[in-house]
Amino acid sequence: MIPPSPHATVVSLPTLADVEGYERKEQQVWKHIQAGYPRFVRNQLVVQAAERAAKELKRSGELFPLVSRRAAEKLLAWAGIKGASVDAVGDWFLVATPSGEAAEKLSKLIQHTGTLISSRQAEAYLKNSSTAKQPAAVPIAEIQQICSAYFSGVTKSDILISLSGMNAVAAAIDAVNAIQGPRGKTAWIQLGWLYVDSSRLFEKATRTQHEFVADVQNLDAVEKLLAKGNVAAVFTEAPNNPQLETADILALRKLCDRFGAKLVLDPSSVGIVTLDLLPHADIVCCSLTKYAASLGDVMAGLLVVNPIRPDAAELLRVSRAELEPLHYLDAKVLAEQVKQVGQISQKLSSNAAELAQRLAQHPAILKVRTASTGTTAQNFKALQRNGTGTGALITIELKGEMREVYDKLDLVKGPSFGVQFTIASPFLWLAHFAEVTSPEGRASVRAAGLDPDLLRISVGIEPVDEIWSAFESALKK
């Protein structure tokens, strides 16, 4: 786990065989994993807290330590589970339900909505340390103060800080549905390839219809769907991940206004510093696990409603009610790290730009993608704040076999990005493993304009020559 902390949010998978074992839940890989990205890897402290609570409460079955009773009841209903136990355990709740298909569905929904307790919350319980009366408002206010520099015109207390980026996304979807549903608008347009859990929230929704437009430049398709009159909102990442393509947000805003649809934007791939999205959005939701929490040991998310857009007050009210707040212990840690978000974002962007230039000239590289290059570069630059870069992410496609290069690459390798150390990720192998391991799935990925074997690089703050040396060695034939 990286960093060497019990609260690490990054797990390194040194070989593609390790990635395959990780995805297939093979014991020979998982026995070494104590922590990782918390929505996918249940931290050992969280496991221990759930097991101890279950023993004290005499509960058995599949155990889910969740942050609130509301989250527990909502997700149990979504999964169609009746009769599960929901017990208060200090400042969190333990759900216990029999093993089986329903429990597996619940587990995925918890992953998508980011509602497990954090490792710090679990650790406090295991140490019999009560945090229920700690002044969470103090570190949250410090985080809001820093973030307010990037959301002009928004009252600081209306910058909502959640326990994960996906929880912010889920709250934004709920808020829009609460307003648009009674108006007969129950369809969502997913514009472009999204982070896997965002897509799953739309795919698994029980009261809304999901429309997928793969190409972020295909606003004609978006307009045709909007013209049906039943679209609640358009959701897109700016830029998206891993293509790093940006839709024409200004044109998209006009289309949404014309047909009465909301526009929800997610800048997680570049963080809150780089792009000024709020003037064009109804809601901006973003992960703070990246860039803001750059040491890689805390998760958080952010949701901001544009106060001058129609329905702003109601969108904010519902978002605030649906969102799960960041725990006091995690807020304390984030409040310290977020102070450097501007400086860190700029350094990551600078290093990524230099590495992208070098990789583009290497004979073993077929293609290098960045947010500021390619056919949508102007869309990105139209939203870019003065003096900012283009984020930590670059995506590369190789001329040769990815497995050999990945296995030889002497860097941290695994999920997550936007941290101070460089991470290489076989992104689609981690986010869409079923697709990249079947001929039909690989064909569908290619049809969406993606190389199944692309490598997504989150460039860190190490000296660029050190990062470059690792790639030079791995790319040698």
Q: Could you read off the pLDDT of 419-454 as tens digits, one per residue?
A: 999 999 999 999 889 999 999 999 988 988 889 999
Q: Which of these, 274, 275, 272, 250, lies nearest to 263 by C-alpha position?
A: 250
Type and span of the H or E element at 199? helix 196-203
Query: Which amino acid, one-letter code, is at 12?
Result: S
Indicate the angle between helix axes 44-57 and 119-126, nearest 10 degrees.
Answer: 50
The span from the CA of 157 to the CA of 160, in Å, is 7
Please tell me what DSSP assigns to residue 116.
B
DSSP bridge pairs for 305? 283
Q: Which residues does 202 contact at the CB level (< 8 Å), separation at least 6?
A: 173, 188, 190, 208, 210, 235
pLDDT of residue 449: 82
pLDDT of residue 135: 67
Q: Could you read off the pLDDT of 277-319 as tens digits, one per residue?
A: 999 999 999 999 999 999 999 999 999 999 999 999 999 999 9
DSSP bridge pairs for 283? 264, 305
The span from the CA of 370 to the CA of 472, in Å, is 20
- The torsion angle over the Cα atoms of residues 271, 277, 282 and 287, rounded to 10 degrees, is 0
pLDDT of residue 298: 97
Which parts of the chain have pLDDT scores under 70? 1, 130-135
Query: Which amino acid, one-letter code, is at 355?
Result: L
Full DSSP string of 168-197? HHHHHHHHHHHHHGGGT--EEEEES---HH
The structure tokens listed for 476 are 């040698």
DSSP bridge pairs for 209? 187
pLDDT of residue 2: 83
Domains and CATH numbers, the chain: 25-126 (no CATH), 137-339 (3.40.640.10), 340-475 (3.90.1150.10)
CA angle in degrees (0–180, nearest 5) for 34-122-101:
70
Q: Which residues does 209 contact at the CB level (< 8 Å), separation at least 6?
A: 186, 187, 188, 230
Q: What is the pTM of this model?
A: 0.95
Sign of CA dihedral 279, 283, 287, 288: positive
pLDDT of residue 477: 78
- The torsion angle over the Cα atoms of residues 19, 24, 25 and 28, rounded to 10 degrees, is -60
pLDDT of residue 63: 98
